[in-house]
């Protein structure tokens, strides 16, 4: 083919297409076997040099050329070969008649999923900015696309904010080169543009669709077949979806959980599932450490002090590291009106909150403040579906590969909270398959209680994982540690009861129930294990065993009382409301479950409050099916 024929559009012999590269096209836009329009820009002994675009040039060797050429002549060529040094060789294509079709530069995107394969090559990426961290050197933009989140380093001047207009939440197109940097892939930014208008809308929609698809929880079959659980499953999936989404959006997650056995059986699996999912999604190897934090809480609700502390940390992390404010996940805690002040405080900073709990909820009080709320009471189920049971499934929805490590956990959770769920047998069997007989499970539960007490506000990650045998690497240690902690715990319970039992006051109520009272301030050791709640519970259990139902046990201190009952139809929340109204200046508050709970009052009204309480209890109906087996918070 010569310039002449190429130049003649007149011929009618077909729809031959010749491609015309736009000036910004690169060698990547040239495809094998396609005819391109070229212009001769140099003539040498051994051939002619042609330009296909501003940056695409190559040689057409004289051996494949016919006729003569002048600089500026057009020529239709095909790619012949790419030499090792990147030079291109073309050969003429004989087309008599053709239509020109412009080819734009393919700004096709390299997803974060393919970065390892493009190390050192310039790529393009579109995504949402999830974090903007100014370092002493470059500005680091964390960008989330359909596949993951990658740090992109843009250097303006040391310590000077690059692209100062770009903010978290913007949709950007990044051109840059993936490099290994401190164990992670990072993109060295050549250019970064915020998408606007339609482009942004399209990208946002595409990213949102992808995010939504990827946030979708894994469809795992529950570990056991349990109709009661099925009712909560959609709610739990919603939480899994939210958490996965937070990870994909690069938002930190803060887990606050009840510091007892069930609470830890709930929080640890979710923590580890999230850590593993974060590691998959984020190129930054420190992401699992930076993006999730687990914090035990002693109080049975989210205290203002904890909330202000959480908020402070969050605001500091935003200030120092450009992090988004966190997502708060409350586990085995958080369903009641007492949580409202803390929630409202966080709401002012747009911190979303999800709750998975099995304590008696005040749905009308919290619902507006929560992004998701899982609680068996919302589905006519009760505390017997423990938070640990729920969260093992939640962890699996987040990261199903974790399943193998979690089969024994629901049984531990159930025993910790004395769940009488009909599913307990199945859970015990499942645990037995993993080598956990009931004694050992009971030991794990008591070891957790004991460790939680001494750890106080510390998450004690490795220690708790060793006790739970989740993400733990030394089976022998697990065994010995569980045995030792469980035994120590039991010994200390025995010591506490040795002191307390002789001071137990007994009376038989009008309704025939045994009432036991113990002054835990004066007749139990203070500030040591077990705390008043557990001390009361242990006394209660012994008395049931000794006397059979019905039994009520009250452990009281200067300004609080812990209540447990079996076989009596109490309605503690209602009793608390009545006492609050009846006893002026009593400062009565509290609640809990129907038949188990705690009451607070002002010290000076203790006797009056407790006497009134006992009167109410004496009027309650006997119902041997009722049990206070649920957890009592210390």
Does position 311 interact with a copy of itself (CB under 8 A)? The reply is yes
The neighbour count for residue 101, using CB atoms within 10 Å, is 11
Measured distance CA(266)–CA(257) in Å, rounded: 8
Pair of tokens at residue 154? 């843009």
CB closer to a copy of itself out of 233 and 298: 298
Pair of tokens at residue 65? 């050329």
CB closer to a copy of itself out of 46 and 457: 457
Which of 210, 220, 337, 602 binds a copy of itself (CB under 8 A)? It is 602
Residues 331-360 that bind a copy of itself (CB under 8 A): 341, 344-345, 348-349
Does position 503 interact with a copy of itself (CB under 8 A)? The reply is yes
Q: Which stretch binds a copy of itself (CB under 8 A): 168-176, 419-427, 455-463, 506-514?
A: 455-463
Does position 117 interact with a copy of itself (CB under 8 A)? The reply is no
Does position 160 interact with a copy of itself (CB under 8 A)? The reply is yes
Residues 289-308 that bind a copy of itself (CB under 8 A): 304-305, 307-308
CB closer to a copy of itself out of 16 and 118: 118
Pair of tokens at residue 177? 């080169």
Which of 99, 522, 547, 574 binds a copy of itself (CB under 8 A)? It is 522
CB of 304 to a copy of itself, least distance (A): 5
Does position 319 interact with a copy of itself (CB under 8 A)? The reply is yes
CB of 514 to a copy of itself, least distance (A): 19
Query: What is the C-alpha R_g of the chain?
Result: 34
Q: How would you classify residue 530: left for phi > 0, otherwise alpha for psi between -120 and 50, otherwise beta?
A: beta
User: Exposed, middle or buried by CB within 10 Å (0-12, 13-18, 19+), for 25?
Assistant: buried
Residues 401-420 that bind a copy of itself (CB under 8 A): none
Cβ contacts of 127 within 8 Å, gap of 6 or more: 112, 143, 144, 145, 146, 149, 171, 172, 174, 207
CB of 257 to a copy of itself, least distance (A): 17
Does position 133 interact with a copy of itself (CB under 8 A)? The reply is no
CB of 442 to a copy of itself, least distance (A): 19
Which of 51, 362, 521, 541 binds a copy of itself (CB under 8 A)? It is 521
Give the relative orientation of helices 261-281 and 409-416 as an angle to the nearest 10 degrees. Answer: 150
Which of 2, 5, 204, 523 binds a copy of itself (CB under 8 A)? It is 523
CB of 496 to a copy of itself, least distance (A): 8
Q: Which stretch binds a copy of itself (CB under 8 A): 377-385, 392-400, 458-466, 548-556?
A: 458-466
Torsion of CA 338, 343, 348, 352, to 10 degrees: -160
Does position 155 interact with a copy of itself (CB under 8 A)? The reply is no
Does position 519 interact with a copy of itself (CB under 8 A)? The reply is yes
First-last CA distance in the chain? 91
Does position 530 interact with a copy of itself (CB under 8 A)? The reply is no
Measured distance CA(26)–CA(354) in Å, rounded: 49
CB of 561 to a copy of itself, least distance (A): 15
Does position 66 interact with a copy of itself (CB under 8 A)? The reply is no
The neighbour count for residue 525, using CB atoms within 10 Å, is 14
CB of 273 to a copy of itself, least distance (A): 19
For residues 91 and 77, the answer to whether their CB atoms sit within 8 Å is: yes
Which of 148, 414, 460, 597 binds a copy of itself (CB under 8 A)? It is 460
CB closer to a copy of itself out of 38 and 613: 613
Does position 506 interact with a copy of itself (CB under 8 A)? The reply is no
Does position 622 interact with a copy of itself (CB under 8 A)? The reply is no
The SS3 call for residue 252 is coil
For residues 489 and 537, the answer to whether their CB atoms sit within 8 Å is: no
Measured distance CA(358)–CA(630) in Å, rounded: 10
Cβ contacts of 164 within 8 Å, gap of 6 or more: none
Which of 463, 610, 614, 622 binds a copy of itself (CB under 8 A)? It is 463
DSSP-assigned states of every residue in 85-153: TS-EEEEE---SS-EEEEE--------GGGGGGGTTS-EEEEEEEEEEEE-SSSEEEEEE-SS-EEEEE
Query: What HEC string does 376-400 produce?
Result: HHHHCCCCCCCHHHHHHHHHHHHCH
Measured distance CA(460)–CA(513) in Å, rounded: 42
Does position 181 interact with a copy of itself (CB under 8 A)? The reply is yes
Does position 49 interact with a copy of itself (CB under 8 A)? The reply is no
Q: Which stretch binds a copy of itself (CB under 8 A): 107-115, 274-282, 389-397, 515-523?
A: 515-523
Residues 552-571 that bind a copy of itself (CB under 8 A): 559
CB of 531 to a copy of itself, least distance (A): 13
- Say which DSSP state 529 is in: S
Does position 586 interact with a copy of itself (CB under 8 A)? The reply is yes
> For a copy of itself, how many residues bind (rule: CB under 8 A)?
71
Does position 500 interact with a copy of itself (CB under 8 A)? The reply is yes
Measured distance CA(457)–CA(143) in Å, rounded: 34
CB closer to a copy of itself out of 456 and 506: 456
């Amino acid at each position: 083919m010569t310039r002449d024929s190429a130049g003649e559009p007149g011929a009618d012999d077909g729809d031959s297409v010749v491609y015309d590269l736009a000036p910004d096209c690169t060698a990547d836009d040239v495809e094998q076997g396609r005819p391109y329009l070229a212009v001769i820009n140099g003539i040498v002994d051994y051939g002619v040099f042609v330009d296909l675009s501003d940056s695409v040039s190559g040689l057409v060797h004289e051996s494949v050329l016919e006729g003569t050429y002048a600089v500026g002549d057009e020529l239709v060529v095909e790619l012949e070969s790419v030499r090792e040094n990147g030079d291109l060789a073309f050969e003429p294509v004989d087309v008599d008649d053709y239509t020109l079709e412009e080819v734009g530069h393919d700004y096709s995107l390299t997803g974060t999923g393919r970065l390892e394969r493009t190390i050192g090559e310039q790529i393009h990426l579109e995504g949402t900015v999830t974090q903007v961290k100014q370092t002493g050197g470059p500005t680091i933009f964390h960008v989330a696309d359909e596949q993951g989140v990658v740090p992109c380093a843009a250097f303006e001047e040391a310590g000077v904010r690059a692209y100062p207009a770009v903010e978290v939440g913007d949709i950007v197109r990044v051109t840059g080169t993936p490099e290994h940097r401190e164990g992670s892939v990072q993109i060295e930014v050549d250019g970064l543009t915020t998408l606007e208008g339609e482009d942004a809308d399209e990208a946002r929609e595409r990213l949102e669709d992808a995010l939504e698809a990827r946030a979708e929880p894994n469809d795992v079959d529950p570990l056991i077949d349990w109709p009661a659980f099925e009712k909560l499953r959609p709610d739990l999936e919603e939480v899994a979806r939210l958490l996965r989404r937070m990870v994909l959006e690069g938002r930190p997650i803060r887990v606050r959980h009840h510091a007892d056995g069930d609470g830890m059986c709930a929080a640890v699996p979710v923590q580890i599932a999230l850590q593993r999912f974060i590691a998959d999604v984020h190129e930054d190897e420190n992401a699992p450490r930076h993006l999730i934090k687990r914090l035990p809480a002693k109080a049975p609700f989210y205290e203002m002090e904890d909330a202000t502390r959480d908020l402070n940390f969050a605001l500091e992390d935003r200030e120092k590291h450009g992090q988004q404010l966190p997502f708060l996940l409350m586990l085995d805690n958080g369903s009641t009106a007492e949580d409202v002040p803390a929630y409202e405080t966080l709401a002012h900073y747009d911190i979303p909150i999800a709750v998975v709990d099995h304590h008696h909820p005040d749905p009308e009080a919290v619902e507006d403040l929560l992004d998701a709320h899982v609680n068996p009471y919302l589905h006519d189920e009760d505390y017997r579906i423990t938070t640990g049971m729920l969260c093992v499934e939640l962890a699996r929805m987040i990261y199903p590969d974790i399943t193998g490590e979690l089969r024994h956990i629901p049984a531990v959770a159930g025993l910790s909270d004395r769940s009488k769920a009909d599913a307990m047998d199945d859970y015990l069997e499942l645990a037995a398959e993993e080598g956990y007989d009931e004694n050992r499970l009971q030991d794990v539960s008591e070891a957790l209680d004991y460790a939680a007490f001494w750890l106080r506000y510390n998450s004690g990650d490795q220690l708790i994982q060793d006790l739970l045998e989740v993400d733990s690497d030394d089976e022998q240690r697990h065994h010995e540690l569980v045995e030792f902690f469980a035994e120590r715990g039991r010994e200390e319970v025995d010591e506490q009861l040795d002191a307390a039992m002789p001071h137990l006051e007994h009376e038989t109520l009008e309704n025939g129930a045994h009432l036991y009272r113990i002054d835990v301030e004066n007749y139990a050791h203070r500030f040591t294990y077990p705390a008043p709640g557990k001390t009361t519970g242990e006394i209660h259990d012994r008395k049931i065993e000794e006397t059979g139902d019905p039994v009520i046990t009250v452990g009281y201190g200067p300004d609080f009382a812990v209540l447990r009952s079996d076989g009596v139809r109490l309605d503690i929340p209602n009793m608390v409301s009545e006492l609050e109204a009846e006893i002026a200046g009593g400062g009565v508050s509290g609640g809990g479950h129907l038949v188990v709970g705690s009451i607070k009052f002002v010290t000076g009204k203790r006797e009056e409050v407790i006497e009134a309480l006992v009167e109410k209890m004496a009027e309650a109906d006997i119902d041997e099916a009722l049990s206070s087996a649920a957890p009592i918070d210390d």
